[in-house]
Amino acid sequence: MDELAPWTNFLTAEVGATATLTGLIIVAVSINLQRILEFPQLPGRAGEILIMLAGVLIGCGLGLIPGQSLRTFGIEVAGVGLLMTVPPVVIQGRQIAIMKTQPVTWWLWRHLTGLCAGVPVLIGGVLLVSGVTSGLYWFAAGVLATLAATVWNAWVLLVEILR
């Protein structure tokens, strides 16, 4: 029996939503590229968003592969969680000097949205590898947090930078 079968609808919906949001971010960056480049912190922010979205797209897509065990999916999800967590932290680390010029709430929010997206996915993967099926719910929480963070960041890249 396919252990991920009960999650097929969720995974399918999230692949579609993530692909759509990825397109929105790419369009937002394309339309506002000149303006985004005027703010030294925004290119990195756009990169972080795309990394997180790619992680969700890959993770949900992998979950749709039939016949794999939860442990195998857990290994895949843990890898995706690392992808979603480490590069954004590195990008933010490289931009510490720039981010310190911004209000504390601005960079704190940026850190939290990144961590709230990637860390639950990573935890979910580790739990699944360990045989704990609640890892699927951690993965789902990370997916939904990523979509929420992406909508917020899309708003920044599309509207807020034009103010």
Domain boundaries, the chain: 5-162
* Residue 106 vs residues 45, 68, 109, 141, 159: alpha-carbon distances, Å: 12, 41, 5, 23, 16
Please write the tens of the pLDDT for every residue from 1-28: 588 999 999 999 999 999 999 998 898 8
Q: What pLDDT is recorded for position 138?
A: 98
pTM of the full predicted structure?
Answer: 0.90
Average pLDDT value for the chain:
91
* Residue 111 vs residues 19, 27, 107, 146, 157: alpha-carbon distances, Å: 23, 24, 6, 13, 17
Q: How far apart are CA 155 and CA 163, in angstroms?
A: 12
Residue 84 DSSP code: H
Please write the tens of the pLDDT for every residue from 15-65: 999 999 999 889 889 988 999 999 888 898 899 999 999 999 999 999 999
Strands (E) located in the chain = none
Counting residues of the chain whose pLDDT is more than 70, the rounded percentage is 99
